[in-house]
Amino acid sequence: MNALDLKNTVIGIEFGSTRIKAVLVGRQHEVIASGSHEWQNSFAGGVWTYPMKEIHEGMRSCFRALKEDVRNRYHVELTVSGAIGISGMMHGYLPFDREGNQLAEFRTWRNTITGAAAAQLTEKFGFNIPQRWSAAHLYQAILNDEPHVKDISYLTTLAGYIHWKLTGRKVMGVGEASGMFPIAESGRDYDEEMVRCFDRLIEGKGYPWKLRDILPEVLCAGECGGTLTEEGARFLDPEGVLQAGIPVAPCEGDAGTGMTATNSVRVHTGNVSAGTSDFAMVVTDHPLGVHREIDMVTTPSGAPVAMVHCSNCTSDINAWIGLFAEFAEEFGFDIDRNTLFTKMFRKALEGDSDCGGLLSYNYYSGEGVTDLDEGRPVFARMPDARFTLANFMRTNLLSALATLKIGLDILTGTENVTISRLYGHGGFFKTPEAGQRMLSAACGTPVSVMKTAGEGGPYGMALLCAYMIWKDEGETLEDYLDSRVFKDSESVTVTADESDIRGFDRFLEQYKKGLDIERAAIRTMRQDD
């Protein structure tokens, strides 16, 4: 029973787009147990959402699976831990009234319904406000004269909501907060001038609140975000095993936990997270101009980060793999999906560097970088194209990165941002070499994947918990990760050759020209027709 010292562990939980995952991490920063729950967003009433019931049930299912894994591996009950932390999909809109009642359906990052608000705020602030940011959702609700707005007492994100339920505190980490509203240059709080500007914009509405009244308090990595209350313990674990009193780290967004999990929080380092969505994060050393394609957020310590966020990445690949699996089953073959993914990703390495005349748009939803409010998955080819399985798969992989490449070109070209180190994590990189080589071809820089990359966000959240309770006095997050966590970490680095890079450039040139195909599909393929 004493083989596992639970007080020398930390727990990270992340609400991802398709999976909620929890990890238990030991004193040497190694994952020692895990649990997960699969889920999907819904498109209801014109809004991409996750119903609150599914949020609660998914969280509890995930934590129950973690408890079972601990029990099976170590023959102990998961009663305590040194610290716990929550991460989640950034941005979105979750408003509550004074009694804690939810006022509107959760509007996720995937929605592209705030174009007017985002444009107006960007102009007024002189700072890019993307459509998925909480500030854009709030201002759009105001522009729409939605009656619930007057009753808002607290506006938060998914991670912020769960943190509030666990601790009773309306706080969040600065990285997560930077996806709600712009952060000041100090990296420790919201930009006060922009807060005042927002309040001036709405002063004629007569609302009983000002912006700071309803936003979460901002905390930085290493600060304590509260402790698990009795109510919070039962909220997470209705079975009553988990005890109250556990320190809780400030909740963070999936961008911040991804940076942490890949040791990409120092200036000039960067990472690419690629799953349902994909985004690149590069820590910068100088101010950038205003670009619709570039978000400015922060690391969990408050350092400025240039973010290229794309709403669509692997969903279309998943759909094609599903079709291949159905084909195999029709002929009596029972093929493991993971094996199928691996074989198809490896097949892409055999394709022509420019995909041989094939073209694909993986847009399930709108895409801010290419200024599209809706999406339609489209596949097209020239009559004389080399229509092979290898080229087909390579087209889908390059399509998953093409929009990201458009944004990165602005960073490295127009803004002269230096990227000295780039790490990949997420499902796109599970097959050795394939995803890395494609991303390296897109970026023109080596791409590394750590052994722990598959753990992703929940592992990064667990590391932020570890930093909070195990750091030395004055030790920065950057130093803690370098000297304690990743000093002897294993990683694999892949560099695309010149033919891969030139091929991607040719593919991207055709991809940009073909965006009119996507626009025509959106215009002509209507769900209400």
Contacts (Cβ under 8 Å, ≥6 apart) of 35: 21, 22, 62, 63, 64, 65, 66, 67, 68, 69
**Do 300 and 173 touch, CB atoms closer than 8 A?**
yes
**Do 252 and 205 touch, CB atoms closer than 8 A?**
no
Strand 304-310 with 47-49, pairing: unpaired
Separation of first and last alpha carbons in the chain: 63
For residues 313 and 208, membership in a common domain is answered with no
For residues 148 and 285, membership in a common domain is answered with no
For residues 197 and 318, membership in a common domain is answered with no
Is the Cα dihedral 502, 264, 435, 88 positive or negative? negative
45 CB neighbour count, 10 Å cutoff: 7
Does 122 map to a domain? yes
DSSP-derived 3-state class of residue 246: coil
**Which pLDDT belongs to residue 1?**
36
DSSP-derived 3-state class of residue 183: strand
Does 9 map to a domain? no
Residue 358 is given by DSSP the state E
Does 524 map to a domain? yes
For residues 433 and 300, membership in a common domain is answered with yes
CA angle 422, 284, 481 (to 5 degrees): 55
Phi and psi of 185, rounded to 5°?
-60, -25
Q: How many CA atoms lie within 13 A of 174 on its CB side?
A: 24
Distance (Å, rounded) from C-alpha 147 to C-alpha 398?
Answer: 44
For residues 318 and 435, membership in a common domain is answered with yes
For residues 277 and 192, membership in a common domain is answered with no
Distance (Å, rounded) from C-alpha 254 to C-alpha 268?
Answer: 20
Find the farthest-apart pair of alpha carbons in the chain and give their distance in angstroms, rounded. Answer: 68
Does 249 map to a domain? no
Contacts (Cβ under 8 Å, ≥6 apart) of 176: 88, 90, 157, 159, 160, 250, 251, 252, 253, 256
Does 430 map to a domain? yes
**Which pLDDT belongs to residue 425?**
82
For residues 310 and 191, membership in a common domain is answered with no
For residues 316 and 186, membership in a common domain is answered with no
DSSP-derived 3-state class of residue 477: helix
Does 223 map to a domain? no
**Which pLDDT belongs to residue 455?**
62
The residue among 122, 131, 108, 112 whose CA lies nearest residue 52 is 108
Does 228 map to a domain? no
Contacts (Cβ under 8 Å, ≥6 apart) of 167: 225, 226, 227, 228, 229, 232, 248
| Tokens at 367, concatenated | 């895409």
For residues 356 and 414, membership in a common domain is answered with yes
Q: Which domain holds residue 368?
A: 263-452+497-529
CATH number of the CATH domain containing 414: 3.30.420.40
Distance (Å, rounded) from C-alpha 49 to C-alpha 44?
Answer: 7
The residue among 416, 440, 417, 435 whose CA lies nearest residue 425 is 435
Positions of the chain with pLDDT lower than 50, given as ranges: 1-2
| Tokens at 416, concatenated | 């002269």
355: left (phi over 0), alpha (psi -120 to 50) or beta: left
Contacts (Cβ under 8 Å, ≥6 apart) of 309: 130, 132, 277, 279, 295, 368, 369, 407
For residues 309 and 429, membership in a common domain is answered with yes
| Tokens at 515, concatenated | 């965006």
For residues 408 and 517, membership in a common domain is answered with yes
| Tokens at 457, concatenated | 């966000």
For residues 350 and 435, membership in a common domain is answered with yes
Does 63 map to a domain? no
Domain count, the chain: 2
The residue among 213, 234, 225 whose CA lies nearest residue 98 is 213
| Tokens at 222, concatenated | 């290493």
